[in-house]
Chain A
Amino acid sequence: MPLDIDIDGASKTFITATDTHVHALEPVHLKIAPGEFLSLVGPSGCGKTTLLRMIAGLLDITSGTIRVGAQTVTQPDRRVSVVFQKPTLLPWRTILENCLLPNLIMHTRTPADARADAERLLGLTGLLAFRDRYPAELSGGMQQRAAIVRALVSQPEILLMDEPFSALDEFTRENLNEELSKIQARTKTTIVFVTHNIGEAVFLSHRVGVMAPRPGRLGALIDITGFPAERDAAIRKSPAYFAKIAETRAAFEALL
């Protein structure tokens, strides 16, 4: 069952060690539908990670509330899986063992089932040959792919992804964009996807949230309509794609 997310005026003010207040994020109002793919784009420091961590229950919300399904967020939720900005693989576990860690902790699936799924997803991301290697033996991009597999193996109902593909080359990124869209279309997982890349956001999303810095805020929402649920490479050549990129860019410039 895909879940919805209701962000009701959630804001974040950090109080630093020197007692200065950093307004990282102005109140955000945003409803994300079950099964929606929503991207957040914006320059560095505009509060993307902060918003994602608050949804994940990893960061206290200064004011307002966030609801995931029927649950008000006060702590992490096992139905929500996070792909962090860094791969965050445990160095003493092999790639496959890392991918099976969520299931060791949450026991949501049988070990055999989780293993079969992990191997299938590692194959899909070109990592099957590396499943018994340690993270240090893989490139940064390969590690990040493994982290995505790890998040998917736990079959989350909500997937929060913080710039998961920013360390990848253009070709791998486009490939994985298509795979992610395929997976999302099939599983109907609600995805909140943070990126710096407007093209990537337009390609993947049902909606794009445009964020702006100083103070960090959600400025505009762009609907991406007219594309099939499962996005394919041809979309990147379509006029509609370029039009949406231009529209997003314009929304972003209007915020400065």
Chain B
Amino acid sequence: MSKRGNHGVTLVFAGTLILILAAWVALVELEAISRLILPAPLAVANAFITGVFHGVWLNDIFVTLEEAVLGFLAGGIVAVVIGAIFAYMATLRRGLYPFILAFQTFPKIAIAPLLLAWLGYGLAPKVIIAAMLAFFPIFTNTLAGFLEVDPAMVDLLHSMRASPLQELRYLRGPNAVAFIVPSFDVALVMALLGAIAAELAGAQAGLGNVIQQRTFLGDTPAVYAVLLLLALLGLALKLLIGFGTRRLRPAA
């Protein structure tokens, strides 16, 4: 049963991939769409090889990853600290909730031009945008992790007369970890999004910068190649964090 299921999954995956490539080749061959909009797969592959394997974009890849990872770390640390404080201080939480909600619903990418004007074209504004986007998934889960504890388990600890510190150590802390860790991959992908968006607003390096330059030059295959690279980078980051945090997840 499971073996057949696996074959089915592989079939669907490979079939969809082949279908997309075939449609792409067909559209290009029939010259249905201008090459400026849809380049040939081979041209994209060439651009990808030049950019990635010949090292032309190596610095840009590094810059974008640096922005995304620094943003993820900064946003994540702030999110966990503020989340924990809010969880334990109900008055603060309720009083500041409207501000948090406003900040959460606000399209944070929109302040990128302003940040660039203040802080220049360097690393700082990108890290800040990436951090703001990475903040919310982790913050929300931190809060939930400390507060949404099974009441039966709270009863259990009360029945042993556990101190608040023991309750944190044995119940709320581990419960929070179980909530926070799964939010890391979403947050990291958000940080990558933030970094790219900030680069598009103005940058001297980075993959967002490459996209903008190549679009300006009409080098569509290179733009497609960068998009493909970003998809692969996002996937790699997600897998990496999944692997890195495997031991932190509960067996359940």
> A residues within 8 Å of B by Cβ?
53, 56-58, 75-78, 80-82, 84, 86, 88, 90-93, 101-102, 104-106, 133-137, 154
Contact = CB atoms under 8 A, between A and B. Distances in A.
B155 A106 contact: no
Contacts of B177: 92
B152 A86 contact: yes
A65 B40 CA distance: 84
Interface residues of B, number: 21
B41 interface: no
Given A92-B178, A106-B160, A136-B252, A58 B170 contact: no
In the complex, the 4 A-B pairs of residues with the closest C-beta atoms, listed nearest first: A134-B251, A136-B252, A92-B250, A88-B152
B158 A90 contact: no
B159 interface: yes
Looking at chain B's contact residues, the main secondary structure is helix
Given A58-B155, A104-B170, A91 B160 contact: no
B174 A78 contact: no
19 contacts: A58-B155, A76-B158, A76-B160, A82-B156, A84-B155, A88-B150, A88-B152, A88-B155, A88-B156, A90-B171, A91-B178, A91-B252, A92-B177, A92-B178, A93-B174, A105-B157, A105-B162, A134-B250, A136-B250
A135 to B, nearest CB: 8
B3 interface: no
A53 to B, nearest CB: 8
Contacts of A135: 252
A102 B159 CA distance: 10
Given A80-B159, A105-B166, 19 more contacts: A53-B155, A58-B155, A76-B158, A78-B161, A81-B159, A82-B155, A82-B156, A90-B174, A91-B250, A91-B251, A92-B175, A92-B251, A93-B174, A105-B161, A105-B162, A106-B161, A134-B251, A136-B251, A137-B251
